[in-house]
Structure 1
Amino acid sequence: MTDWARDPTLDGAGNWFRFFLGPSPDDATESRVFDRVDDVGTTIAETLAVQLPAAELFYVSADMTDLARHAADTLTDYRLHPEDLPAQIGVMVYEHPPVEGTAAARHNAVSVVTWAPGRGGLWVHTWATTSPSQQGIVRIGRTLAQAPRDEVLARARTAAARDLPEPTPENRPSESDETAEQVADHVLATFLPHLERAPVPPSFAPPHGYEWCALTPMEFTEMEGWPDGVSEDESSRDSEARIAMQRTILATWLLMGQTLVRSEQMTAPRAAQRRIERLDPVLDPTVRYIDLRRARTEPSDRPDEDFGNGTREYRHRWIVRGHWRNQYYPSRNDHRPIWIDPHFAGPEDKPLLGGERVNVLRR
């Protein structure tokens, strides 16, 4: 990703963002972060070229990924503080995509998150592997990149002037060759604005294997979910899935600052270290592996004997579900959500409510 961000050729990040985003994306939110005079695509490419080489690397285990997604469902609106971040600049890779199965397929494959300071607060990027459904358009894009640009532009302008409908089973010609031509013309018409502002990137999808999905310029202010950001071709139906993704990232950061999470420093294998050194000797080959500690049955801040010290006498034990609790921190005169693991509550010698049910949690 660092190599791609620094690459000045047509296959580098600069040309990729010019082609797909351009100076003023249609769906970019106008705010104090970006306005209509900004060249958004160029700005994003230039900041990534500076930020990615300086990022700390994090790998989030499958168990930790699952907990973060579960905890995100009940995370209340929260004012993020800069000290909540595990690093000022970071790249975080989830072992598997944390929000699979959403209504918006675009977020299903997101498994990489990068962040760094930016105008307005914090810039958070999400990245996804290219899905099988996108392979067709990737092949078309690579074909367009090999053709003379003037010829591609001329055909795209002709196709756009015809105002062709999107190909469907109902309006496709009977001949397969004619169908292929119709599909190609529709793709060319769709990409005409992109073709007019930049050459087609030869790899079409970034060569490092992760496709950029969205940038959220996140401000350190009160928020519901996160503020709208810059994305590539996002429709209104994506909003719930996007917020679920963003809340999961936020939950991951908050959980990483708690004692139930184990952080282990790991170094890349020797062969990978040599590749990194050839790319840039300054790049750090270490990764922090983020996993869950061994499960416990009692929360550390409330032992069983506390239940006998009040005026109420409990006759049963019960299971407390995992939940967030607002913990006050005098050092910053504010509250911070902390995750309380599922645990048993009540006197140890009392029967368990719902004792006929067995819950097994394997980590």
Structure 2
Amino acid sequence: MDVRAVDLPELRAELAVFTESEEGVVYWAEHATTVSYYQSTRTNSQELGRVVRMALHGDLYAVSGSMAELAATAGQSLDLFDMDVHDLPTPTGVLIFEQPPQLLQGPDLDGEPVRIHGATWAAGDDGEGGYVWITPIAEQAGHSHLMLGGPVLIPFAMADYLASVGRVGHLTREKNLFDYLITTLRAVWLLMQQPVTEETELQPDRAVRKRLRRVGREPASVRLITLRRPKCGNGQGDGDREYHHQWIVRGHWRQQWYPARQVHRPVWIAPHVKGPEGAPLIGGEKVNVLKR
């Protein structure tokens, strides 16, 4: 199943109703008592329920299919860096992928097929650099509805994050669907703040508003994140170089300094054509140049 951006307000309401129900209380209690991760981090059922409820009250985001695939792919080449709360679009939020990228589809820890459709997050600050709780929203084989997975605490400081990966075996970057979710989310959060994307605000229609109010939920808008059509460069050369061909520059990350925040952050450079307009297009990224 795929989830449209306009479906997100009702999906959020369903997840919130479940989380606040007696069934939800039992669900988080089972997680806290049976999952070794929560025992190692000393996280009880009340804390699990609290962070999920807090996240579900955040802003709503939907990511288009092409944007999701870009984020999943680009996330694999994204250098690790220390985050802070300003790297998130909002401190709490709910995000869904209209079509889950391929990297977020596969077997879970028990070998059962899973599609990760999105996640909730809730940031906090414990005085040691901060952290964010990430809770997957997933579809398991044999189920016709989306479910919340168990929240995982991700430190903003990469040294702390890598230490947690080493301590908890199921957070291996190369093998686990949840790790792909983390790298994809980090890429999405960066891309949302860059010119490569554009944002459209969608309002629930009248029928959705009525259904939401019937279950005691206020309607909220959804921010749909899509890829902006890239502009093809016509680079005439750098310095004293004169190019006689066009070539394709692959998409890549580049570090950029943000003076207002006094930090470097990766910026995505979209694939584009470089070289004088009308010149022959060649393969690869290396060309011969003539000195003036």
> What whole-Å deviation, never above 9, does each CA across 1:22-78 have from its counterpart, x for those lacking one?
346323473xxx33xx4x2231013323442x2101111111111111211211112
Q: What CA distance in whole angstroms lies between the structure 2 residues aligned with 1:322 and 1:261?
A: 14
> What whole-Å deviation, never above 9, does each CA across 1:114-140 have from its counterpart, x for those lacking one?
0112465211111201212xx6xxxxx
| TM-aligned CA distance change 1:50 to 1:345, over 3 Å | closer
Q: What CA distance in whole angstroms lies between the structure 2 residues aligned with 1:57 and 1:293?
A: 20
> What whole-Å deviation, never above 9, does each CA across 1:199-246 have from its counterpart, x for those lacking one?
xxxxxxxxx9322323221222124976648xxx95979844332221
The DSSP-based 3-state class of the residue aligned with 1:65 is: helix
Aligned to 2:97: 94
Q: What CA distance in whole angstroms lies between the structure 1 residues aligned with 2:37 and 2:92?
A: 26
1:325-340 paired onto structure 2 within 5 Å: 325-340=254-269
Alpha-carbon distance, 1:338 to partner:
0.7
Aligned to 1:190: none
Aligned to 1:2: 16
AA aligned to 2:46 is: T
Aligned to 1:292: 227
Aligned to 2:201: 265
| TM-aligned CA distance change 1:224 to 1:340, over 3 Å | farther
Instruction: Confirm or deny that 1:116 pairs with 2:47.
Output: no
Alpha-carbon distance, 1:100 to partner:
4.0
Unaligned runs of 5+ in 2: 1-14, 285-292
Structure 2 residue corresponding to 1:22, chosen from 32, 41, 53: 32
Aligned to 1:188: none
AA aligned to 2:67 is: M
User: Alignment length, in residue pairs?
Assistant: 260
Q: What CA distance in whole angstroms lies between the structure 1 residues aligned with 2:29 and 2:203?
A: 35
The DSSP-based 3-state class of the residue aligned with 1:15 is: helix
Which one has a bigger Cα radius of gyration?
A: 1
Alpha-carbon distance, 1:315 to partner:
2.5
Q: What CA distance in whole angstroms lies between the structure 2 residues aligned with 1:50 and 1:100?
A: 24
Structure 1 length-normalised TM: 0.64
Instruction: Confirm or deny that 1:313 pairs with 2:248.
Output: no
Q: What CA distance in whole angstroms lies between the structure 1 residues aligned with 2:134 and 2:264?
A: 23
The DSSP-based 3-state class of the residue aligned with 2:209 is: helix
Q: What CA distance in whole angstroms lies between the structure 2 residues aligned with 1:351 and 1:239?
A: 42
Contact 1:60 1:94 survives alignment (8 Å):
yes
Q: What CA distance in whole angstroms lies between the structure 2 residues aligned with 1:46 and 1:210?
A: 20
Aligned to 2:69: 66
Aligned to 1:197: none
Contact 2:83 2:157 survives alignment (8 Å):
yes
Contact 1:225 1:243 survives alignment (8 Å):
no
The DSSP-based 3-state class of the residue aligned with 1:109 is: strand
1:238-257 paired onto structure 2 within 5 Å: 239-257=175-193
Q: What CA distance in whole angstroms lies between the structure 2 residues aligned with 1:60 and 1:237?
A: 23
AA aligned to 1:69 is: A
Structure 2 length-normalised TM: 0.78
The DSSP-based 3-state class of the residue aligned with 1:214 is: coil
Aligned-residue Cα RMSD (Å) equals 2.9
Contact 1:328 1:335 survives alignment (8 Å):
yes
Higher strand share: 2
Q: What CA distance in whole angstroms lies between the structure 1 residues aligned with 2:76 and 2:151?
A: 22
Percent of aligned pairs with the same amino acid: 28
Unaligned runs of 5+ in 1: 136-207, 356-363
> Which structure has the higher relative contact order (CA within 8 Å, separation 6+)?
1
